[in-house]
Chains A and B, each alone.
Chain A
């Protein structure tokens, strides 16, 4: 055994697998622990098919990108080791995901909660984009939630770098409901805007509590989009009729977002509409989204620890959390001026005692 094998064995010994918790197309996920600390982790065991094409592309992408990315709102790859013929990725363990949160009918979302999830999503995504990485599969199911409430972007199996502008890429990416029109029309040159569209769909889904644009086929997806947002005109999106797979799918009138999102604030709908602009060039960037007035207006984003979470065994805790949220996001001007003492105390750790206690630092 040489130095490499020894180092690998040493790494392998740091972790133990406890229980299988899921199985995907190319991997089995186990819950595990770090032996020295007892810290919970997720171990993704990649199946290496001897009769297939060696290591799966998704696994390679995940290793390649997560090795580089370290951010509060991106899942952390703690370690990689191999055992016999398998590749094992050790990831942070995250309790739940946004899809489960959205589906849990017992939870009430306040505008401040939605703002908080959106802020964390945009922060994580801005970090990826700043490092020239496209995620290409954003959906609630891939936004995981840690026990402290932090949202983390996960599953980089479809991610890729886009340093080269003239590089042809496949348009068969992103789960259909979150896929923008340019990809459905076969656009091979695209950029960060595709991820923003997905975030826009997630944003809407958080408010509606049901998928916003659930198309049944790729063709139906276009129809669904246009039915909701109107068919784009040449002026909305110059040149879209020249896209490789362009097909007209009928004329639908534009309806104001306000008709569907009756309870949303003006800022909120403004940001949502900017995420769902047809022309990818005009769609808002993650960085600009973070500086959007929506995030600086009242109610301020909920503190991650205060966000609603699906009830597990201890049902008392989520209730308490909802109570906490009600307190701090109430629309009355009194709350803004003078947040309840209880909250002030709880949040002081993260915010380092700055006077603008609830403003998030987006550039981190």
Chain B
């Protein structure tokens, strides 16, 4: 058995992801990755799916974009396929019909949000009336329509493509057990706020590519770093006795993972927030690329 239990992206794949090679700018790719993972997460919650399956799906999803361009596959379809596949891998399969219905709802809601963006919070009285008139109402798929069958086809294709493009390496190692061990080792188990906060960072990190880039110990160290710093807990951090060295993590890597996670919380403009809502399908991404042609060829 090889020592590496899970595959990580190669340097070449990281430097120039397939999406970037197709002219999709880095920040847009990261936003789309994050949004795709949020959809997986929301679907998981609505389906009452286990977190192990949801996390596995998000990691497969992140890996997928190191071998495939978003011009070729949409984040909606691939996210749906990843959740379906991960549910089978983690022995808690879900029904196709349920998954498709949930994704249809999520996509309708995204389309609704795009059409009726929430008004800025400043004007109070007017927003109230406006939100009331544009309340989202889900319209179930029509019985005779093709929506269901289209989504189903896309789902079957996505599932197979994920398997195929990841070279059938579907091994995922989740970070939670490692976190518990590390906290124990650092004597932090008494502090419930540390563990729940670090746990939260690990979950949020699923929206970033870090699980496809760094080993689990590094990611867990970053989550502990963020949690302890935010709570003002001092750990041995001067050379010769740095706590992360216990876990074979390099400071630069830990810092980089922490950066990926913190970037998620930065203030975003309404335009940036709206941009991803409209780019869930590959069709939309292609149209976006056509519109932004002048900028693209530079890469």
> Which residues of A approach B to under 8 Å, CB–CB?
2-4, 7-8, 48, 50, 53-55, 57, 60, 63-64, 67-70, 80, 82, 85, 87, 131, 160, 169
Complex Cα distance A50/B159, Å? Answer: 12
Contact of B159 among A4, A8, A55 (CB under 8 A): A55
Is B127 positioned at the interface, with any CB of A under 8 Å from its CB?
no
Q: What is the CA–CA distance of A169 and B92 in the complex, to the nearest angstrom?
A: 10
Q: Are A55 and B160 in contact (CB under 8 A)?
A: yes
Contacts of B163 in A (CB 8 A): 55, 63, 82, 87
- Decide if B131 is an interface residue (CB 8 Å cutoff): no
Tell me whether B96 and A53 are in contact (CB under 8 A).
yes
Contact status A48-B89, CB under 8 Å = no
Give Cα A57 to B89, complex, Å.
8
B84 at the interface (CB under 8 A from A): yes
B156 touches A4 (CB 8 A): no
Whether B91 and A160, one on each chain, are in contact in the complex, defined by CB atoms closer than 8 angstroms, is yes
Contact of A55 among B18, B88, B153, B165 (CB under 8 A): B88
CB-CB under 8 A from A3, the residues of chain B are 67
Distance (Å) between the CB of A210 and the closest chain B CB? 35
| A169 surroundings in chain B (CB, below 8 A) | 91
Whether A8 lies near B164 (C-beta < 8 A) is yes
Q: Which of B68, B84, B88, B93 has the most CB of A within 10 A?
A: B88
CB contact under 8 A between A85 and B168, given known A57-B88, A60-B89? no
Q: Which of A4, A60, A68, A160 contacts B164 (CB 8 A)?
A: A4
Contact B170 A63 (CB under 8 A): yes
A198 to B267, CA, bound (A): 60
Q: Fill in one digit per residue for B158-179: 1 if any A CB lies within 8 Å of its CB, else 0.
A: 0110011101111100000000
- Chain A: minimal CB distance from B103 (Å): 14
By beta carbon, the residue of chain B nearest A55 is: B159
> Which residues on A sit within 8 Å (CB–CB) of B93?
53, 57
Residues of B within 8 A of A131 (CB): 1
Interface status of B261 (Cβ within 8 A of chain A): no
| Contact of A63 with B168 at beta-carbon distance under 8 Å, contacts A53-B96, A68-B1 already known | yes
User: Which chain A residue shows the least CB distance to B157?
Assistant: A85
Measured CB to CB, the nearest residue on chain A to B67 is: A4
A319 to B95, CA, bound (A): 55
| B196 touches A (CB below 8 Å) | no
Which 3 pairs show the lowest CB-CB distances between chains A and B?
A80-B168, A82-B164, A4-B165
A-B contact pairs, 22 of them (CB 8 A): A2-B18, A2-B69, A2-B72, A4-B67, A4-B165, A54-B84, A54-B96, A54-B155, A54-B159, A55-B160, A55-B163, A57-B88, A60-B85, A64-B89, A67-B169, A67-B170, A80-B167, A80-B168, A82-B164, A131-B1, A160-B91, A169-B91
Chain B residue numbers with a CB within 8 Å of A87 are: 160, 163
B-side contacts of A8, CB under 8 Å: 164
* Chain B interfacial positions (CB closer than 8 Å to A): 1, 18, 67-69, 72, 84-85, 88-89, 91, 93, 95-96, 153, 155-156, 159-160, 163-165, 167-171
A51's closest neighbor in chain B, by CB? B152
Cβ contact within 8 Å between B1 and A70: yes
Measured between beta carbons, the chain A residues less than 8 angstroms from B169 are 67
A50 touches B88 (CB 8 A): no
The CA of A2 and the CA of B1, in the complex, are separated in Å by 30
14 further contact pairs, Cβ within 8 A, besides A2-B72, A67-B170: A4-B67, A4-B68, A4-B165, A8-B164, A50-B153, A54-B96, A57-B93, A60-B88, A63-B163, A64-B89, A67-B168, A68-B171, A87-B163, A169-B91
**Nearest-CB distance from B82 to chain A (Å)?**
12
Q: Min CB distance, A249 to chain B, in Å?
A: 30
- Contacts of A50 on B, CB cut-off 8 Å? 153, 156
Find the B residue at minimum CB distance from A7.
B167
Q: Smallest CB-CB separation from B5: which chain A residue?
A: A68
A282 → B minimal CB distance (Å): 27
Contact A67 B164, beta carbon cutoff 8 Å: no
Question: CA separation between A54 and B81, bound complex, in Å?
Answer: 10
Q: How far is the CA of A69 from the CA of B170 in the complex (A)?
A: 14
A160 CB contacts on chain B under 8 angstroms: 91
Q: Which residue of chain B is the closest to A49 with respect to CB atoms? A: B156
A67 touches B171 (CB 8 A): yes
Give A49 Cβ to nearest chain B Cβ, in Å.
9
Known: A2-B18, A70-B1, A80-B168. A48 touches B91 (CB 8 A): no
Determine the chain B residues whose CB is within 8 A of the CB of A82 once the complex forms: 160, 163-164
Tell me which residues across on chain A come within 8 A of B1, comparing CB atoms. 68-70, 131
Q: Say how far B169's CB is from chain A's closest CB, in angstroms.
A: 6
| Across-interface contacts of A55 in B (CB, < 8 A) | 85, 88, 159-160, 163
With a 10 A CB-CB cut-off, give which of B67, B85, B91, B95 has the most chain A CB atoms.
Answer: B91
- Provided the pairs A68-B1, A70-B1 are in contact, do residues A48 and B160 lie with their beta carbons within 8 angstroms? yes
Q: Using A54-B155, A67-B169 as known contacts, say yes or no to A85 and B89 having CB atoms under 8 A apart.
A: no
What's the Cα separation between A7 and B85 when bound, in Å?
22
> For residue A7, which residues in chain B have a CB less than 8 angstroms away from its CB?
167
Nearest A residue (CB) for B164: A82
Question: In the assembled complex, which residues on chain A have CB atoms less than 8 Å from the CB atom of B167?
Answer: 7, 80
CB of B270, distance to nearest CB on chain A (Å): 35
**Minimum C-beta distance from A188 to chain B (A):** 13
Q: In the assembled complex, which residues on chain A have CB atoms less than 8 Å from the CB atom of B85? A: 54-55, 60
Q: By the criterion CB–CB under 8 Å, are A54 and B156 in contact? A: yes
Q: Known contacts A2-B72, A57-B93: does B164 contact A85 (CB below 8 Å)?
A: no
